[in-house]
Amino acid sequence: MAPTRRTLLKRAGVAAVAGKLLESGKTRAQQAPQTQHATRQGQNASLRALTYCNLRTGLGVKLGERILDVARAGKELGVKVPATTDEVIAGKNIDGLRRVVEAAPRNATVVESEAQFGPCIVNPEKIIMLGFNYKKHVMEVKVPMPTAPVLFNKYNNALSAHGGTVPLPSKVARKFDYEVELQVIMGKIARDVSEAEALNYVFGYATGNDFSARDLQLRDGRQGSQFMIGKTPDGFMPIGPYLVGAEIVGDPQNLAIECRVNGERRQSSNTSDMIFSVAKIIAYASSIFTLKPGDVFSTGTPEGVILGKPEAEQVWLKAGDEVACSVEKLGELRFQLA
């Protein structure tokens, strides 16, 4: 059956959105300052001007209010494409990705509200967390102001998706708490990079939650001394739904950040309240160990956590609660507790 004029116009509209995104990425790449070392890494900056996700069926690229199913589009056009955001960052089948984004076949797109998401990064070598990195949060939990970034880690078992559930390990903990955070996903190998060039190594950003079991975290009575066991149970790092290219986000130090529980606002701040900026964090960490493409930084949480309230007012999260987190330009992450 021949396509109708309306169908042709819709296809043209989606393709036009894709073309403009790629072209704007090329323009910004030409204008953005690049150090010789960062340029030598070989990442095409236009890839940092798109918004990605991992669908249950494979890689997705957000085009307006629809999401391009890259695997379906690749099959239709007969080209090899990246299967996940991890493969995009690694530079696998990028020519095929560009072809399907430029073509943007309408029958290979899904409505955003109907999409089923996975974590927006699948297999990072390192998940690097920051504690006590917002001034007002430090004051609410009554710890000394840090003089260097407080780093700890999570593992891949903690990764979970937008629209999913986080299972509560109720046999070993009961004091469950939220922490909305800006996530930073690295795009290049970084070792001993300066603060001035650090953001050139970032592929993109995402909304995340450093979900926590405070009774495990404080098991020996000292603030933060058991970060790992309090923050690495299965599913304790929801991230996504989108990995937004760094060129879209611009300055990561002026983004509104918010968390709601069952519709009630609990945290509301701005990344400008960070003690250590994203650039400082990357420079500091890369002076100690090598950062790899796909590594994730979770940059700390603002004030408003349950732990920061007077003990008599601490009502911990429970099964059935819905948590919604948002970071400006990055979208809303929602998950339910079970």
What is the DSSP secondary-structure string of 176-195?
A: EE--EEEEEEE-S-BSS--T
Q: Specify the length of the chain in residues.
A: 338
Predicted pLDDT of residue 101: 96
Reference 280, options 201, 194, 202; nearest CA is: 194
Exposed/middle/buried for 64, CB within 10 Å: 0-12, 13-18, 19+? middle
Tokens of 164: 């999913």
CB–CB of 138/213 below 8 Å?
Answer: no
Q: Please report which residue ranges of 32-121 form alpha helices under DSSP H.
A: 36-40, 70-77, 85-89, 94-103
Predicted pLDDT of residue 176: 99
CB–CB of 272/302 below 8 Å?
Answer: no
β strands within 64-223, DSSP E: 66-69, 109-111, 127-131, 150-154, 159-160, 165-166, 176-177, 180-186, 202-209, 212-213
Digitized pLDDT (tens) for each residue of the chain, 338 residues in all: 444 444 434 444 444 444 444 444 433 333 333 333 333 333 444 899 999 999 999 999 999 999 999 999 999 999 999 999 999 999 999 999 999 999 999 999 999 999 999 999 999 999 999 999 999 999 999 999 999 999 999 999 999 999 999 999 999 999 999 999 999 999 999 999 999 999 999 999 999 999 999 999 998 766 657 999 999 999 999 999 999 999 999 999 999 999 999 999 999 999 999 999 999 999 999 999 999 999 999 999 999 999 999 999 999 999 999 999 999 999 999 999 99
Predicted pLDDT of residue 210: 99
pTM reported for the whole predicted model? 0.87
CA distance 276 to 316: 29
CA distance 49 to 29: 9
Buried b (16+ CB within 10 A) or exposed e, 253-275: eebebbbbbeeeebbebebebbb
Cα torsion through 148, 175, 139, 276, rounded to 10? 30
Domains of the chain: 5-31+57-114 (no CATH), 127-337 (3.90.850.10)
How far lies 190's CA from each of 23, 108, 121, 194, in Å? 27, 36, 19, 10
β strands within the chain, DSSP E: 51-55, 58-63, 66-69, 109-111, 127-131, 150-154, 159-160, 165-166, 176-177, 180-186, 202-209, 212-213, 237-238, 243-245, 256-261, 264-270, 296-298, 322-327, 331-337
The residue written with tokens 């629209």 in the block is 163
Predicted pLDDT of residue 223: 60
